[in-house]
């Protein structure tokens, strides 16, 4: 198995987990300033990891 494809899969999974956690924090209801900042940080990091993971998996050729 290709190392880049494996790393892309790991990044994608981490991005999904980050986005789900950001949605959980958002849905929990508290609107304090610290909670909003935390939600934004997790959402942005989740998006970055997810997009980079998907891009890495798509760009890597499967050479067997």
What is d(CA 56, CA 39) in angstroms, rounded to the nearest whole number? 26
- 36 vs 44, more confident: 44
pLDDT band at residue 18 using 50, 70 and 90 as cut-offs: very high
- The domain segmentation of the chain, as residue ranges, is 3-59
- Could you identify the residue written with the tokens 């950001």? 22
Q: Where are the alpha helices (DSSP H) in the chain?
A: 3-27, 33-59
Query: What residues contact 47, with CB distance under 8 A and at least 6 apart?
Result: 15, 18, 19
- 25 vs 16, more confident: 16
What is d(CA 16, CA 38) in angstroms, rounded to the nearest whole number? 16
Token output for 58? 């798509």
Q: Is the pLDDT of residue 23 over 80?
A: yes
Question: How high is the pLDDT of residue 35?
Answer: 80
């Amino acid at each position: 198995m290709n190392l880049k494809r494996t790393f892309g899969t790991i990044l994608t999974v981490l991005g999904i987990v980050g986005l789900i956690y950001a949605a959980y924090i958002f849905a929990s209801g508290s609107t304090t300033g610290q909670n909003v900042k935390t939600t934004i940080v997790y959402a942005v990091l989740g998006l970055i990891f997810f997009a980079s993971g998907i891009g890495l998996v798509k760009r890597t050729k499967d050479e067997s």
